Amino acid sequence: GQQVMQIPQYQHVQEGEDFTTYCNSSTTLSNIQWYKQRPGGHPVFLIQLVKSGEVKKQKRLTFQFGEAKKNSSLHITATQTTDVGTYFCAGYYDSGYALNFGKGTSLLVTP
């Protein structure tokens, strides 16, 4: 079936280091979204990418959508302790009505 794979499952960095999480799909996605879930909280929408090769930035966060629309990445520059949480990618397939979520990457940032 159609699945969105996300790696790594966990990442532990020192404050100030960079962080990247990757999503891959075996089939083309119509769009991809990124969510952040703080410990004990619920997922909160960060951004949506729709176009092939699209790159969007939000302050220290950079989101990319691959040329083939099968992969995506989230890169955080100079992490801060406020970045702690689990980052999920989620994509729609052309034939679907529901988001397909990756399993998430849990980020721990130590000062």
Partner 1 sequence: DGGITQSPKYLFRKEGQNVTLSCEQNLNHDAMYWYRQDPGQGLRLIYYSQIVNDFQKGDIAEGYSVSREKKESFPLTVTSAQKNPTAFYLCASIGTESTDTQYFGPGTRLTVL
- The footprint of partner 1 (CB under 8 A) covers 6, 9, 31, 33, 35, 41-45, 48, 88, 90, 92, 97-99, 101-104
Question: Rounded to the nearest whole angstrom, what is the least distance from the CB of residue 35 to partner 1 in the complex?
Answer: 8
Question: Rounded to the nearest whole angstrom, what is the least distance from the CB of residue 64 to partner 1 in the complex?
Answer: 18
Nearest to 2 by CA among 19, 31, 35, 24: 24
**Cβ closest to partner 1, residue 40 vs residue 111:** 40
Give the span between the Cα atoms of 9 and 87, in whole angstroms.
Answer: 10
Nearest to 65 by CA among 28, 11, 104, 103: 28
**Cβ closest to partner 1, residue 31 vs residue 64:** 31
Question: Rounded to the nearest whole angstrom, what is the least distance from the CB of residue 33 to partner 1 in the complex?
Answer: 7
How far from the centroid of its chain's Cα atoms is residue 48's Cα?
Answer: 10
